[in-house]
Amino acid sequence: MSLIDIQDRIDAAVASAGRPPGSVTLIAVSKIQPSDRVRAVLDAGQRIFGENRVQEAQSRWTELGAGRDDLELHLIGPLQTNKARQAMEMFQAIHSVDRPKLAKTIARIADEIGTCPDLFIQVNTGAEPQKAGVLPDDADGFIRDCRELDLPLKGLMCIPPADADPTPHFQLLAGIAERNGLVGLSMGMSGDFEAAIACGATHVRVGSAIFGARD
Ligand SMILES: *Cc1c(COP(=O)(O)O)cnc(C)c1O
């Protein structure tokens, strides 16, 4: 699959859901991919990329991003509080806000540096013990806490359990967002982005379908 094929599939899914053209943002997930593949996708015009580790993103994009002011980098992996500052300096969006300590740290640094990336709260819709994210029952309270900290909340993010039908998880996330007045929905990956778009995704995170399998 190429970038253009994926963009076409996104456009088709948006149209068949009866949603306005351009209402879904494609985040090309470049984590672990060799630089030549990432450069090819950059050359094809993609400007929004997702990474799951701060360190890896830094070394990759210091080189690839040099001299480009139109790049938009999104952190989609877990964030340790001691890396929050670095992450806030390099990413335009963070999709993995998932606990009070991290929210408070981000708020403190945002006060200090006068700016903050767009934030998504990660919800563990399948309540999987090994997975990050607030539990669905705790989401309303955590959203309220983040708002009290004046954080720029853009929406919610989820990663459905690998072996489950993702649609109920997307619907659960969309319901939590709606009742809390949040518009952003970061959901859908290579195998399920069309289903996510049908459920209202505003941001899809697609890696292997664009770049090929990761080693
Ligand atoms: C790796 C990753 C993706 C992309 O997965 P693909 O199946 O390669 O599209 C999306 N979201 C998160 C959080 C990831 O870690």
pLDDT digits (tens, 9 = 90+) for 22-66: 999 999 999 999 999 999 999 999 999 999 999 999 999 998 988
Domain at 3-211: CATH architecture:
Alpha-Beta Barrel (3.20)
Ligand 1: which of 29, 49, 95 to mutate, most ligand atoms within 8 Å of CB?
Answer: 29
d(CA 175, CA 180): 9
Q: Give yes or no for a contact between 188 and 158, defined as CB atoms under 8 angstroms apart.
A: no
Q: Which atom from ligand 1 is nearest to the alpha carbon of 193? A: 9
169 CB-near residues (< 8 Å, 6+ apart): 125, 126, 158, 160, 161, 187
Gap from CA of 114 to ligand 1 centroid (Å): 30
Dihedral pair phi/psi, residue 136, rounded to 5°: -50, -40
pLDDT in tens, 86-121: 999 999 999 999 999 999 999 999 999 999 999 999
Closest C-alpha residue for ligand 1 atom 6: 207
Q: Ligand 1 atom 4: the closest Cα is on which residue?
A: 207
